[in-house]
Amino acid sequence: MTLIDSRPGIHAAWRRLSAETGVRVDADLVVSRLGPPLTQELAHWFAEEDIPAAAERYRALYPDYAIEPSPALAGAREAFAAVREAGGRALVVTAKHRPSAQLHLEHLGMEPDLLIGELWAEGKAEALVEHRAAAYVGDHVGDVRGARTAGVVSVAVATGPCSEAELTEAGADIVLPDLTAFPRWLREFTRP
């Protein structure tokens, strides 16, 4: 939940998956711990051998249930603009299935310069290094670990499942209350 509040849509998609499969899923609990890859969450509810089929079905349901109800977070568009104003590229690196992330961004009229999906925690470092990121903004301790692994500045926003204290303890260089504070931070960060 760095750029969008995907909780309402994810909640709806999980409820539909639960109804279709007959597997009782606590969608409230699911949305309280967003961040890790889908397969990790599915492992809490489905037998190991059923996870691939459940993931495939969830991803098929996602466009119809999860896109429309998920709004942009305050400051998301302004954060993209601030990066470009500073001469950078808006790179989105997410654990989300790339086609799903693309649908969200298109629906909300947000156009990153590059979108890379299905990378989690330290795995995000691969894309951050390859694309020469200077900083990475995220909302989860996994995002902090990804930034630390890549050797880039970890900017955390306390809009997701992790508290300011958890993000700080994980090693974030800066913790902002939300993205509305990002443009000012970026101006100071990039000031010569």
Q: How many CA atoms lie within 13 A of 51 on its CB side?
A: 12
Taking 70 as the pLDDT cut, the residues of the chain under it are none
> Would you give the end-to-end CA distance of the chain in angstroms?
31
Do residues 76 and 90 touch, judged by C-beta distance below 8 A?
Answer: no
Q: What is the pLDDT of residue 1?
A: 87
The C-alpha atoms of residue 24 and residue 13 are separated, in whole angstroms, by 13
80/72 Cα distance (integer angstroms): 12
Please compute, for residue 43, the number of CA atoms within 13 A of its CA located in the half-sphere on the CB side. 5
161, 139 in Cβ contact below 8 A?
yes
Parse the chain into domains and list their residue ranges: 7-65, 76-190
pLDDT at 59: 98
Question: Is-same-fold flag (7-65; 76-190)?
Answer: no
The string of pLDDT tens digits covering residues 128-166 is 999 999 999 999 999 999 999 999 999 999 999 999 999
Domain 76-190: state its class: alpha beta
* pLDDT attached to residue 166: 98
Provide the pLDDT for residue 46.
Answer: 98
Q: What torsion, rounded to 10 degrees, do the Cα atoms 152, 4, 100, 33 define?
A: 80
What pLDDT score was predicted for residue 55? 98
Query: Tokens for 18?
Result: 């639960």
E strands, 47-141, in order = 91-93, 114-116, 135-138
Architecture (CATH level 2) of domain 7-65: Orthogonal Bundle (1.10)
